[in-house]
Each structure stands twice: as structure tokens, then as C-alpha cells.
Amino acid sequence: MRDFSYEISEDMKQRWSPRAFSTEPVDMDDLMALFEAARYAPSFFNEQPWRFVVADKEEELKVMRGILNENIQEWANKAPVLVVLVAKKSFANGEPNNWHAFDAGTAWGYLTLEAQRRGLITHAIGGFSKIKAHELLAIPGKFEVLAMIAIGKIGKKENLSIALQEQEEPANRKPLKELVFHGRFRS
């Protein structure tokens, strides 16, 4: 059960990360609109370090599924779209961009909220091989592989294993008082 002490956007309140994906494809305009949303995220010096490697065709999905850990494949293999989010680690002059991951995370946040607005579901994934992602998707070393994202439509919970069915609900959050400190840090 989620609780909210303050009024925030309905999309933020409703968004969560289901694992029960339907195999139904995602409309291309809807899919591209998610990247449009991500594109308008703010970034340090407007560097826009994020890049999205997208699989929405069976041959591409087969490769992308091979990058996922086995326990993730159990549910993510049904998703009609898989994405690898990467970010460029340096600026054009070769200086390191220490905000590349921060900015790419913001872009993911925009993407997931636009998906929610359009009735799509998203699930970010850390359970995959970054080495395989570099190798199989030809991602150059100057880009850091950050996360994978499953995108699609909500499917039937009953199609998940019993263990996953038990976790299939929106998660709550820590109370604001544990997260926000006025004046100085408190642990």
C-alpha cells in the first residue's frame, strides 16, 4: 500500500514496476514518444550523455534477452521492447563528465513517467551482464552501460511464477523524515 502526505502528479502516484508483461507490441509512436520525453531531460552543460539501444524486433530481442540474467529472463522475455541505457563518460574535449550517470538516470525518470501517461509499463533492470551488452551490441568503451529497461503493456499476473506473483504490487517508500534533512545531514 502506498501512502502520500502531499499531492503530486497522478502519473508519479500510479507508476510502478510490474513484471507481468503482455506480449502485445507497443505502437511505434508511443515508443518513440518515450525517448522524446527522455530527450528533454536536463543534463550538465546540456551534454545529453544518454543513448538508448532498442530491441523491438524478434531478432533484436533474442540478442537482448541473452544479456539478461536467467532469473530476469523468467519475466522480462515476454516484454515486447527491451532497451539498454548507456551514457557517454566524457565530453568532446576528453574531460570526464562526472554527471553522466546522474543525467541518464533523470532521462530514465522522464521516460518511465511518459510511459505511465500513455498506459504503458516499464521495469528498470540491473540484473544483466554489462560485458555482454558491450560485446553483443557494439557499445564503445567510452560509454558506460547503466541499466536495461523492459517496456510494454500489463499482462496477466497469473502467468508469473507463484513467487513473483507474491511480489507483484506497487512498492511503498521510506517516510519523508528519513530522506529529507533541513539544515544539515542527520543519520
Ligand X SMILES: Cc1cc2nc3c(=O)[nH]c(=O)nc-3n(C[C@H](O)[C@H](O)[C@H](O)COP(=O)(O)O)c2cc1C
C-beta separation of 93 from 17 below 8 A: no
One character per residue 10-29, x = contact with ligand X (rule: CB under 6 A): ------xx------------
Q: 162 to each of 33, 120, 153, 170, how far by Cα in Å?
A: 34, 24, 20, 17
Nearer to ligand X, 22 or 91 (CB): 22
Binding residues for ligand X, total number by CB under 6 A? 11
Nearer to ligand X, 92 or 179 (CB): 179
Residue 73 binding ligand X, by CB under 6 A: no
Residue 107: all three cell numbers together: 532521462
Q: Which stretch binds ligand X (CB under 6 A): 6-14, 20-28, 90-98, 122-130?
A: 122-130
Bridge partners of residue 82, in order along the sequence: 55, 150
Residue 170 binding ligand X, by CB under 6 A: yes
C-beta separation of 169 from 14 below 8 A: no
Closest CA to 67 of 51, 57, 53: 53
Terminal Cα-to-Cα distance of the chain (whole angstroms): 26
Nearer to ligand X, 28 or 163 (CB): 163
Residue 52 binding ligand X, by CB under 6 A: no
Summarize as ranges the residues that interact with ligand X (CB under 6 A): 16-17, 72, 123-127, 147, 170-171
